[in-house]
Structure 1
Amino acid sequence: MTAVSERPTLGSQVRLRLLGGFELTVDGRARELPPAAARLVAFLGLHERPLVRSHVAGVLWGDRTEDRAGACLRSAIWRANAGGHVIDAGRSRIGLAPSSVDARESADAAHAQLVGGAPVAPEVLSGELLPGWYDDWVVVERERLRQLSLEAMEQMAQTLLEAGQWRRAIEAALAVVTIEPLRESAHRMLVEAHVGAGNRAQALRQFGRCRDLLAHELGLAPGSALVAAAALAQGSPVATTA
Structure 2
Amino acid sequence: MTPTPPQRPPVPAALRLLGGFGLQIDARPVYVPPTAQKVLAFLALHREGTSRERAAELLWPDLPRNRATAGLRSALWRLSRRSDRGLVTDLDFSRLSLAPHVDIDLHAAATYATALAGDRHDTTPGPDVPPQLREELLPSWYDDWLVDAREHFHQTRLHALEAVSRRHRRAGRMCEALLYAMTAVEAEPLRESAHREVTAVHLGEGNVAEALRHFDLYRRRLRRELGLPPSPEFRRLLAPYLGRPADAPPPR
Does TM-score exceed 0.5, indicating one fold? yes
Q: In the alignment, what sits opposite 1:5?
A: none
Give the Cα separation in 2 of the matches to 1:175 and 1:137. Answer: 27
Give the Cα separation in 1 of the matches to 2:226 and 2:71. Answer: 46
Compute the displacement of 1:223 (Å). 2.1
Is the CA contact (8 Å cut-off) linking 1:157 and 1:189 kept in structure 2? yes
Residue among 83, 93, 96 paired with 2:95: 93
Structure 2: tracts of 5 or more residues without a match: 1-6, 244-252
Provide Cα deviations, 1:148-168, integer angstroms capped at 9, x if missing partner: 222222233233334443222
Give the Cα separation in 1 of the matches to 2:8 and 2:111. Answer: 29
Compute the displacement of 1:234 (Å). 7.3
Give the Cα separation in 2 of the matches to 1:15 and 1:49. Answer: 18
2:162 alignment partner AA: E
Give the Cα separation in 2 of the matches to 1:122 and 1:234. Answer: 36
% identical equivalent positions:
39
Is the CA contact (8 Å cut-off) linking 2:50 and 2:96 kept in structure 1? yes
Q: In the alignment, what sits opposite 1:128?
A: 136
Provide Cα deviations, 1:52-105, integer angstroms capped at 9, x if missing partner: 333222222344454443333232112112121322223132212222222222
Give the Cα separation in 2 of the matches to 1:60 and 1:232. Answer: 55
Residue among 112, 115, 120 paired with 1:109: 112
Compute the displacement of 1:38 (Å). 0.9
TM-score w.r.t. the length of structure 1 is 0.82
What secondary structure sits across from 2:238 in the alignment?
Answer: helix
Provide Cα deviations, 1:113-151, integer angstroms capped at 9, x if missing partner: 233333333542231222332211123322222222222
TM-score w.r.t. the length of structure 2 is 0.79
Q: 1:16 to 1:232 in 2, by over 3 A?
A: farther
Is the CA contact (8 Å cut-off) linking 2:117 and 2:156 kept in structure 1? no
Residue among 113, 119, 128 paired with 2:124: 119
Counterpart check, 1:204 vs 2:212: yes
Counterpart check, 1:225 vs 2:224: no
Q: CA-atom RMSD, angstroms? A: 2.5
1:31 alignment partner AA: V
Instruction: Give the alignment of 1:1-242 within 5 angstroms.
Output: 10-84=9-83, 85-90=86-91, 91-97=93-99, 98-115=101-118, 116-117=120-121, 118-120=123-125, 121=129, 123-231=131-239
Q: 1:168 to 1:132 in 2, by over 3 A?
A: same
1:100 alignment partner AA: D
Is the CA contact (8 Å cut-off) linking 1:44 and 1:96 kept in structure 2? yes
Q: 1:38 to 1:167 in 2, by over 3 A?
A: same
